[in-house]
Homo-oligomer: A and B are copies of this chain.
Amino acid sequence: MTTGRLIVIGGDAAGMSAASKVRREQPQREIVVFERSPHTSYSACGMPYFIAGLIDSADKLVARSPEKFRDKFNIDAWVQHEVLTIDPSTQRLLVRNLINGSETLEAYDQLLIATGAQAIFPPLPGNEADGIFSLSTLASGIKVYEFMDKELPRSAVVVGGGYIGLEMAEALVRQGLQVSLIEKGEQVMGTLDPDMGMLVSEALREIGVTLYLNESLTDYETSNNKVTGVVTDQRTLPADLVIVGLGTRPNTGLAKEAGLLLGEKGSIRVNPRQQSSVPNIWAAGDCAESFHLISRKPFHVALGTVANKQGNVAGINLSGGYATFPGVVGTAVSKICKYEVARTGLTERELTALGLQYTTATTKTKTRAGYYPGAGWIMVKLLAEQGTGRLLGGQIVGLEGAAKRIDVLATALTAGMTVQQIVDLDLSYAPPFSPVWDPVQTAARQLVG
């Protein structure tokens, strides 16, 4: 695995992390990257802030351009090149140049598939109408921005109340649009328990988003192939712009056709070194399977942190080192206007599905000493295993300074700590930063009793 031509399919977080790692370890190795979109190494997570106008150019979301990879890192990075097929028996790829339509066969000794994830669109006839977008690649984010710049939409409907949906709802409010959001669940942010998600729903209403909960997209209204409305199972909402934020699925059509074993949600099954079921083919990032340390099961999540870690692990192994992906504990964080939202571990629903018994505590305290200027509320919910007291999950909603506290819980989860051990932690305290008992400890104290 350590010599010969390395081809990477996909030029974002996982693919370029791997390619860069191999380059550092093997200055002479031939490394070729094919990326379907026009961009490499961009921050997909940054798109809502670009659309919100907080970042003045999409270029700023690009960490490294193809030119930089070529010139500075000697990585042969081709954008707008789509890999059409993988033939594991001959170790060749059929690659199309999307600019001129030409096709070539490319031989690999080692192949890393890092094709990411794609937005889920419900199969509706109006899908192709102008004004309906998802956000997955940077190119898709730029399309939304350009559409808004040109068409000056006044009303928007966001479909789906997950991270991207909520961040986009805020972005559109910031740009002055009337924003509605439809969510089929009883609360937005279905990755939290409903009691915590409710706080996020309130936050959205506060900034002027009209929420339609327990409501599903059924159709679009269009006129001259432009979207004019969103039809739900309960009403029709006018819309000049629709953002579909129903999550993503692993982009694994190529891998499936090549005979690779797939796992959770259709992601590529890999061993802990990121090797697929087919010799000399590796996978990393949003297209690859992960492992959940708390549920102890295969898991799929499309997140930049995981993509970078898996890419780095693949790069180490592809260049003769040894590394394994450590798994995840389900950590995620988001900012919705002034509200910070974070989670780690498992939710009540997830625990119940696993047959685990748990106790919970939810405490509302302050982000700083109560008397210190800027102290805001923070709600912490902890879930601990019945009997053992072992932490199983944590959720945080609150004002400035709230969210990053989830990292203490993520670390404690990884270490298998009990809530008593969290109470016992020597966490930092000074009035500008925390009450004397950190909010995560106050919640843990309640569980200890």
Contacts and interface: CB of A to CB of B under 8 A. Distances in A.
Interface of A: 13, 43, 45-46, 49, 54-55, 60-61, 163, 293, 303-306, 308-309, 326-335, 340, 342, 344, 369, 371-373, 401, 403-408, 410-412, 414-415, 417, 421, 424-434, 436-438
Given A43-B369, A405-B407, A426 B54 contact: no
A371 to B, nearest CB: 4
B414 A426 contact: yes
A415 B415 CA distance: 6
Given A407-B428, A408-B411, 13 more contacts: A45-B430, A46-B369, A304-B429, A305-B428, A305-B429, A326-B424, A333-B429, A333-B433, A333-B434, A403-B428, A407-B427, A408-B408, A415-B417
Identical copies of this chain, number: 2
Contacts of A372: 46, 49, 54-55
A427 B305 contact: yes
Contact of A426 (B329, B369, B421, B424): B329
Q: Which 4 A-B pairs have the closest CB atoms?
A: A326-B424, A415-B415, A333-B428, A60-B371
A248 to B, nearest CB: 16
A306 B436 CA distance: 9
14 contacts: A46-B371, A49-B372, A326-B424, A328-B426, A332-B430, A333-B428, A334-B430, A335-B430, A342-B428, A403-B433, A404-B428, A411-B415, A411-B427, A415-B417
B426 A331 contact: yes
A49 B432 CA distance: 9
Nearest to A434: B404
B61 A371 contact: yes
A61 B431 CA distance: 10
A338 to B, nearest CB: 11
Given A46-B369, A371-B55, A373-B54, A428 B411 contact: no
Given A43-B371, A405-B404, A433-B333, A428 B415 contact: no
Given A414-B425, A425-B414, A305 B436 contact: yes
Given A54-B372, A60-B371, A406 B428 contact: yes
A411 B305 CA distance: 20
A197 B87 CA distance: 58
Interface centre among A43, A306, A408, A428 (most CB of B within 10 A): A428
Interface centre among A43, A330, A332, A430 (most CB of B within 10 A): A430
Contact of A411 (B412, B430, B434): B412
A407 B331 contact: no
Nearest to A304: B436
Nearest to A374: B54
B411 A425 contact: yes
Contacts of A332: 428, 430
A335 B371 contact: no
Given A408-B407, A411-B425, A431 B46 contact: yes
Contacts of A401: 404
Contact of A438 (B60, B329, B340, B407): B407
Contacts of A330: 426
Nearest to A50: B371
Nearest to A440: B407
Contacts of A60: 371
A344 B428 CA distance: 9
Contact of A49 (B46, B61, B431): B431
A95 B325 CA distance: 64
A436 B329 contact: no
B426 A410 contact: yes
A433 B335 contact: yes
A412 B417 CA distance: 11
